[in-house]
Each structure stands twice: as structure tokens, then as C-alpha cells.
Structure 1
């Protein structure tokens, strides 16, 4: 006989989404996310002296150094507003010192105040026009603000000053991908390929671009070229597996994902996709293991949470199932299926009232979405649980 809790295990509307490789994040010589560009530069280390620009007296230099020491203390205490105020006082002593302006810009970035960071970085660049890190920081702020035209202009300015700046081409490619201007993204990566021939990061970037464009054969070829040069990057194997799955080369994808998790067991995307293939092959134990590893590596990977939650339910591991579905309902408060499954898990744990509340919330969401089949499913479950619909305020 089917246990009461097992009526209708489902979560609707969840999928893995684009893989990590498809999003274009590469690690290694270039620590760059195609969608964000290079990270902002760090502040000067505690106690370091900012290069003097003005002809300061000994007393002024001593005061400047003390202000910067205090600013670093404020940063350590996460008092960023206090640190900015100290940097502004330092600027009054040495108004043409570009590093002081960049310090203020960085502090705004630390707080996520990207608009406020723009002007300090512009002032820093005006005083030190050939400083490449300042321009990367400015581009980063523009990307965060989704001011992509200014980000493109900033990256291009970097390549004009120093044509060998690989990160700038990666940044350009990332912005163009965001804008879905794949031709320009390809041009940026081709320029990078000429700059760094036979570089696995470049081939990986090309593979990711072709994945997004759904040119899976080209993507597969570029990922294979990257792996032939460097066999120790899990994200390259995940990208290759994505392309192989799209080409229905499932055995090849399985081997690629096995290699990815061997290299990096914390690669959540690889663990999830490998679990999917194990499940497809009928190996439920290995699927369960890799779903759990995916969730451990990244609790925000919702498709993995949904899959492992369903398997917890099937195995009557109700405490773990409740944890999985609480994470899902927190992330997807309007997903009727997630609330339905949470109710199943709570019922299995013996928490009757909470279970009924969860499935009633699911029912309201199904009603709002016009999904009558979902409403009927909830009503049937409540009847199975011997819950009187009138008692819970549901009109028959």
C-alpha cells in the first residue's frame, strides 16, 4: 500500500538552468567573470605609505600617514563611511594623489554603492591616466550598474593603452554576451586568441560562447582543445559535458562529468549533472549521492535541492526532506509544487498541522495560477489525510 505521505511527489517549474561553464566563469590565470569583469583592486596594505604626489612637508606626510592608518583600522572594523571620511581628509592634504581617490572608490564598491564609486575612480584616472587597475575597477562598477556602453568604452580604453591586456578582452566578451551581441563577443575572444595562442582559458571562453549560441559542435571542439592543453580544470569538463548532452553524446558526457568531480568535488554543477545521468541509468544510489554532494557544495542550486528533496521523501528521510523543501520555499515562495512537497515531508515527520498549512498554501497558489489539476491534487491529498475541507476553510 502506498504510504499516505507519498501521494504525488513533484516540484513544478524547476530546472538546472545554464551551467556554470555556459555562464562563462573561468578560473586560473584570469580570475574574471564574463558578466562582472575583473574585481576591483584592493586597498593598500595596513601601514603602507601612499606614494607622495605633492611636495608635502614632513608634518603633512606624517598627518597623511596617520589618516591612512586610521582609515585601515576603520576598514578592519567595517566602518566604511568612517574610512571614506578619513580618505577625504587625506585628499585635502594631497589633492592630486590618484591612489586616495581610488581608495574611496574601492570603499564604495565594498558597500555595493557602485554609482558612488564612479566619480572617485574617474578622478583617480584623471590623475594617473595609464593606471590599468583603476580602469578595471571603473569597468567593474559600470557592469554592476548595467551601464554596458560605458563598460565597453572603459575596456576598449584599456586595450588601447596596453593591447596585451587579456582581462580586458575577456571583460569585453562578457559584456557583449550579456547584450546578446555574440558577433562582437566572438571578435573580442578572437583578438584574445591572437594575443594568447593555444591558451586553455581562451578556448574555454570560446566554448562557452558557442554553448550560449547553441552551436554545440563548435563548443565541444573548443572545450576539447582546452582540455588537451590543461586537463586539470573541472569547469572545462562541465562545459564539454553540456555540449555533449546537447549532442546526445551521453556516454561522453558521463565520462566528462566523472572527470570534473574527480578534479573538483565541490563543483556543484558537475555533481548535479552527474546525478542526473546516474538517475537516467537507473542507479538511484549513485544519483542520490551526487545530488547530496551538489547540495553540500551549493545549497542555492535549487534544481539539486528539488531532486534531493524528492529522493529524501522516497527514502522516508523526512527531516532531511523538510530541510530541502524549506530552502526551496524560501527561495521560491510562489512555487506551489515546493509547498506541496514540503507538506508531504512535514506529514511524514508527524507534524500534521504544519503539513496541512503547507499544502493549503500550495492550493492557494495553484488556484491563483489557474492550475485546476493542482487544486484537485491537494484536495485528494487532504482527503487521504482525513482532513475535512470544511474544517480548513476550503469550499467543496
Structure 2
């Protein structure tokens, strides 16, 4: 769950980096009711039963400046207005700050950091410099420096709630969930409708097994944005952990209803727990009355479960029933293809992958799997066309590179075959198939020593594979020439 809700954090951070500007005055509004709701340490002190002076005294103590600057607080009703006065503005430092922002906008974080460090040397009490440097360090995955800079920004300006948000995000990334939770709560007290902060807080609370808190926060997100599928997916995961199957399924169905083609919809359909077993019905009869199912996603879930337990025939049969009714579901066609491929039904698998491609021709994975089927069907020209499209659309994994090399070998394009097979091995040093086909290319080119080296490696490998027998045969053929 953590990784799913971190999606979007980088985008927000980049936006903050672009928009942040040096200020002589930093102002923010604390919503006292939100602070009561989200800040455990201030819950009693900020209760509405306290008078204005008691509220002021608590806030003045909590947010007092110990490093630099002056803080001014005014309370009106259930809101507190804060103003932090930047004590020193150095024009040369400001100019460096502007240059750093421009470099950061172009993702040249190293140059930006260098400029912010120079700005800090000229004016070490401006929190903007530390805040932006912290974000840039985060972009470089230098989390220690990110934390140090963001933390110091808060020491200088305790109301810099954006720094609390990014700190909470960094700690979530580092799986330091309690620290993440504390910083996110502090940020939300100032900005109580920030969806990203709320999502990350709900995630941290869930991991800490504060399930009731997690549900409350996810529900709050859904109230703010009824189409935020991550909120319903998060609730579903918690309900599943609590064995509240009905509530979990309702939330999973909500994910699918809101964004049926989104990435979370595919996960949700797999995780739905069926009330009625299509598996039992299918085992009794070749026909399933799909109309008797409250939701077809339950059939999808059972098909996925069968696949996980290696019952590929059952999985393929269930997916086949599913797509016979929901023929516009690309994920279902892809899954049907995968199950059929595992069963050795190559034509059926190829047809399913092509259906998925028709529905979403931008998905590189579908072209890759279709190419795999075509290669196994000895349709090498078509296989080359499909695997090239997969590669052009972004597929660059070891298997794709191996398949490219293998098909180029079939077409006697040895130089290209060597290029892609070497890349495949570089990406995965345990790719036995790439080693074998590279040896075949070298043998075709008359490079006996290179071919033998790769074949010996396969034969002596601890990996169990039928390619060892083929490698021994090819090695004997080379020795006899």
C-alpha cells in the first residue's frame, strides 16, 4: 500500500520546488479544529473549551522561534493567523536562490543544491533555502541531507508546514512510520484538505496498525474528493485485514466503478472476495450462469486466485467466461492470455493478447507477450514486428531484450542479435536463454572461443534448465567442426 500512495509525492514536491519563492514574510493559518483532530500533542490545549488567552499561550510556546525571526499570532474564532518575519534579506543570496530554482525546474538538482548552499552561506537564516535544498536532495535520493535541511527550515520557521509535509513523505519512504505520522499530522493541521498529506498519513497509520484512524482519514479524503480511488482502495485493504469482507468488497467495487481502466482497478478486481464460488460451479458444469453473480468482478478475482495457485486451466476457463460478457476489459484479456499461455494454448493466448492490444495499443507489455506467442508459433516476421513495437513503447527488460536478440538471430541479423543479447545479460546475469542464444550467434559467426565460453557457463550453472542439454549438444557440434 505504501508504494501506491507515494505515487504523486514526487510530482507535488517538484511543484513546490518550482513555486517556492524567497519571502520577507511567511504567513500561514492554523485551523484549530483540524489541529485538535490531527495533532495528538495539542488536542487538549486547543480544545474549544479553552479561552483565547489559553490558546494563545499554547501556540506561542509551541511555535516560538529559537533560531531566528519573530513570530506574530492572532486568533479569531477557531483559526489562528501566524506571521513569521524574515529578519535579514540579502539580495545576492536572493539572486542565487532564483538561479537555483531555475536549475531545479530543469531537474539539474546538483547545480541547484550548489547555489542554495552558496545562498545559505550568505544568509543562513532564510528557511526557503533549506526547504528547497531539502527537496532537491530528496530528488537525488539523498534522504539524510534532505531530512537535515527540511528539519532546519522548521527550526528557523516553525510554521513552515510544507517542510513538515515533505519530511513526513521522506520518512514514509524510509519506512519510519511514527516520525512520518507526526510530521504529516503537523502539516495537515495547517492545510487540512491536502489530499496527498492525508493519503500518506492514512498509509502510515495503517502500517502502524492504527486501523480505525486509517479508516477515518480515508473517509475524510473521500469526502473531500469522492473520485479519489486511492482512498477507497486504502479502506478496502484495512477492511480486509479486519476480515470485514462486505465492507472491503464494497470499497474494491467502488475503485473499479470510479476508474475501471486505472491501475488500481486491476488490483481491486483481483482482491475482491467472491460470495458465490464460480470455481465450484464451473467444476460441476462447463457452463456458468454469469447472470446469477452480483458482480462479475468476483469471477475475475477467482480467476486470478486460480492463476496464483497454478491452476492455469481453471484460471483460463474463468477468464474466458468473464470476457464473454465484459469484452471491453483489456486487463481481463491480458490475464486470459497469460493463463492460456501457461496452458500451452498458444493460439488462444495470442488472440487474447491481440484483443488487449486492440483495446489499449499503447501498452508495451501486451505487444511483448504477443511476440512471445508468435515466436513459439514460428511466426518470426510477425514476432519481430511485435517485439520491436514493445521495445519502442518502453519495454527494456531482460526478457524483451533476449527475445529481440533471439528473433534477430532467426533473421540472420547477427550484429543486432549480439547487441540485444549482451544488453539482456547485462540487465540480468542469470538470463540463461540470453546466454544460450548469444552462444548460438557466436557459433554462427565462427567465434568458437566466445561461443564455448557462454556454453560452459550454462552447463556449469546451478540453475536447473533444459537449455543445459541444448548447450551440451551445441558445444559438441562446435568441437567437431
The answer to whether TM tops 0.5 is yes
Q: Distance in 1 between matches of 2:354 and 2:373?
A: 11
Structure 1 segment 41-56 matched on structure 2, within 5 A: 41=9, 42-43=12-13, 44=16, 45-48=18-21, 51-52=27-28, 55=72, 56=83
Q: Distance in 1 between matches of 2:27 and 2:327?
A: 44
Question: Which residue of the partner structure matches residue 136 of structure 1?
Answer: 199
Deviations 1:58-116 (A, max 9, x none): 3359789942145325645757555543322221233354322112234566xxx5135
Q: List runs of 5+ in structure 1 lacking aligned partners.
A: 1-32, 229-235, 389-396
1:58 aligns with 2:85: yes
TM-aligned CA distance change 1:241 to 1:355, over 3 Å: same
Structure 1 segment 1-396 matched on structure 2, within 5 A: 36-41=4-9, 42-43=12-13, 44=16, 45-48=18-21, 51-52=27-28, 55=72, 56-59=83-86, 66-69=126-129, 71-72=131-132, 75-76=135-136, 81-107=144-170, 114-116=174-176, 119-126=179-186, 128=188, 130=192, 131-138=194-201, 148=207, 150=209, 155-163=214-222, 164=226, 165-173=228-236, 187-193=247-253, 197=257, 200-201=260-261, 204-209=266-271, 210=301, 211-214=303-306, 236-243=329-336, 246=339, 257-258=353-354, 260-262=356-358, 264-279=360-375, 283-365=379-461, 368-369=462-463, 377-386=470-479
Q: CA deviation at 1:125?
A: 0.9
Q: Distance in 1 between matches of 2:419 and 2:129?
A: 46
Q: Alignment partner of 1:386: what SS?
A: helix
Q: Distance in 2 between matches of 1:185 and 1:162?
A: 22
Aligned length: 336
Q: CA deviation at 1:119?
A: 0.9
The answer to whether the 8 Å contact 2:130/2:152 transfers is: no
Q: Distance in 2 between matches of 1:227 and 1:302?
A: 32
Q: Distance in 2 between matches of 1:376 and 1:297?
A: 35
Q: Distance in 2 between matches of 1:175 and 1:325?
A: 44
Deviations 1:221-279 (A, max 9, x none): 77787775xxxxxxx41432323664799878656543543565442211022224445
TM-aligned CA distance change 1:227 to 1:158, over 3 Å: farther
Q: Distance in 1 between matches of 2:424 and 2:372?
A: 19
TM-score in terms of structure 1 length = 0.65
Which deviates more, 288-297 or 202-211? 202-211
TM-score in terms of structure 2 length = 0.55
Q: Distance in 2 between matches of 1:161 and 1:257?
A: 40
The answer to whether the 8 Å contact 1:309/1:325 transfers is: yes
TM-aligned CA distance change 1:101 to 1:132, over 3 Å: same
TM-aligned CA distance change 1:246 to 1:282, over 3 Å: same
The answer to whether the 8 Å contact 1:40/1:137 transfers is: no
Q: Alignment partner of 1:272: what SS?
A: helix
Higher relative contact order (CA 8 A, sep 6+): 1
Q: CA deviation at 1:203?
A: 6.1
The answer to whether the 8 Å contact 1:169/1:189 transfers is: no
The answer to whether the 8 Å contact 2:147/2:167 transfers is: yes
Q: Distance in 1 between matches of 2:424 and 2:256?
A: 43
Which deviates more, 113-122 or 251-260? 251-260
What CA RMSD, in Å, does the superposition of the two structures yield over aligned residues?
4.5
